[in-house]
Structure 1
Amino acid sequence: MKKKQPLVTVFMAAYNAERYIAEAIKSILNQTFTDYELLIANDGSTDKTLEIINNFQDKRIRIISNDTNRGLLYTRNVALKEAKGKLIAIMDSDDFSLPDRLLVQVTAFKKDPSLALYGGQAKVIDEDGKEIGIIQESETCPELLKIKLLFQNTFVHSSMMIRTAVFKEMGGYQEPFAEDYDLFLRIAHRYRVANSKEFIVLYRSHGDNVSNTVGEKIMQQLLPIKGKLLARLGYVPDPDFEKILTNPYIWPDVPVEKYKILYTSLIIQNRRSHILNPALLENYIFQKWYEVIMMKGGINTVVLFFSNPIFQRELATFKQVRKTFKRSIKKLFIRK
Structure 2
Amino acid sequence: MGGFYYINAFGRIEPGDDVKFQKLLTGASPPSVTCIYINSIGGDVESAINIGRAIRAWRLSTEIGTYVLHHEDVSAPIIRRNLLPGNCMSAATLLYLGGRLRHFHDGAQFGVHQFSYKNPSPEHVGQSQILSAKIAGYVADMGVSPDFLEISSSTPSNDLKLIDKDTLSRLGVTTGGITDVRWTVQARSGVLYVRGERDSMFGHHKVMLVYAKGSGFLFHAVIEAQGRQTELTEFPLVELVLDHEATVWDISQRALRVVNGDDVNIIVKLDDTEARMIASSSSFGVRVRASGEAPVFLGISPMDTDGGKEQLETFYSVLGGH
Q: Whose RCO is larger (CA < 8 A, sep 6+)? A: 1
Structure 1 length normalisation: TM-score?
0.28
User: Larger helix proportion, structure 1 or 2?
Assistant: 1
User: Larger strand proportion, structure 1 or 2?
Assistant: 2
